[in-house]
Homo-oligomer: A and B are copies of this chain.
């Protein structure tokens, strides 16, 4: 199967456990390389392309309308299915919502969602939208994995959704997370070494950064940790050769002032006297 490179770590682990052969599709800057997707699909004839199209983990990247249309065209032409994983779709703080990949190629897309990021991660409920031909296989795989999802969780989620409180809760979450994202983006110029680059996601939980030539995010982590601040080195998120200069920064857990303070400590951790 094909994946975005880099890709959500737990997905890579799941595919490895299942014995899948996984090939990463590269990006050109923040855009998926559609020519590479077409070429890798022709060469490897994959059954699936796994994508987090909106505010991806770990990069915060989002496929724009042209990319979505292009991915769908390639899936139709090359005959693979797209597994569209959308845990972050509702966490948009700027820009306009985008159509799901399923709108472009409904017969080729399996869409996944989760309540973890919009209600609570303690509620172990997700959902899947699939074409009828694949539903029996999904049902059997689910039964083999855990027999069924907790009926207590399902009743709690149904009760919550029926209460009508989710819209206002989501509005509060978006407002809080937007302020945290902005605090991070404001502080990053002084927190990363000169020559670093990062993106400015319209939503989700993550900013993806790249340190300048000569830096290694995994090696620098111990310095950050000794300053009581952490990030995730990017290398774990690659199915192929990692870029050791990349790192993932998460902005949703703490209030803006704490993010500012943490990034100030990160800025002091690089040991270059800057």
- Residues on A lying within 8 angstroms of B by beta carbon are 10, 13-14, 17, 120-124, 144-153, 156
Contact = CB atoms under 8 A, between A and B. Distances in A.
What 9 A-B pairs have minimum CB-CB distances, sorted nearest first? A122-B151, A124-B150, A150-B153, A150-B150, A152-B153, A152-B156, A123-B152, A152-B152, A122-B152
Contacts of A156: 152
The majority secondary structure among interface residues of chain A is helix
A156 B151 CA distance: 12
A256 to B, nearest CB: 27
Nearest to A13: B144
7 contacts: A121-B147, A122-B148, A122-B152, A124-B124, A124-B149, A124-B150, A150-B152
A103 to B, nearest CB: 30
B146 A122 contact: no
A104 B108 CA distance: 56
Contacts of A17: 144
A123 B144 contact: no
Nearest to A124: B150
A153 B155 CA distance: 11
A249 to B, nearest CB: 22
Nearest to A10: B147
A122 B150 contact: yes
A13 B145 CA distance: 10
Given A124-B124, A145-B145, 4 more contacts: A10-B147, A124-B149, A150-B152, A152-B152
Contacts of A151: 120, 122-123
A122 to B, nearest CB: 3
A145 B147 CA distance: 13
Q: Which of A121, A122, A123, A156 has the largest count of B CB atoms less than 10 A from its CB?
A: A122
A84 to B, nearest CB: 21
